[in-house]
Amino acid sequence: MPDVASQTHAAILQEIRAAQADVDALSKSTKPMNGYMGFELAKSALADLHSAVNDTKDQARLATTVKGAFGRLRLVAGGDVAPAIERARIKFKAILDILEPKTAQ
């Protein structure tokens, strides 16, 4: 597949940074139970996603990477981090709609 445009690539990275900031802000405003790792796992998944997206502009690879990160985030979507994960899910769905446009039939 072709590479995405530089502006699209930058917009994807910005959405990931926004999701990271959202998780960070929620973690600072919440007092999770002792041993709760949801925020740390979400932060790790988003950091890995940002790094992977930063390394490529290939449209197919980006779509696969975003799908993988979404799968990882679903695993930690319970508990206090849930609102931020849901907002990230909506952003990632919009990204995938750009990366994998539906063909008209």
One pLDDT digit (tens) per residue for the chain, 105 residues: 699 999 999 999 999 999 999 999 999 999 888 889 999 999 999 999 999 999 999 999 999 999 999 899 988 888 999 999 999 999 999 999 988 886 544
Q: What is the CA radius of gyration of the chain?
A: 14
CA atoms within a 13 Å half-sphere pointing along the CA-CB vector of 87: 15
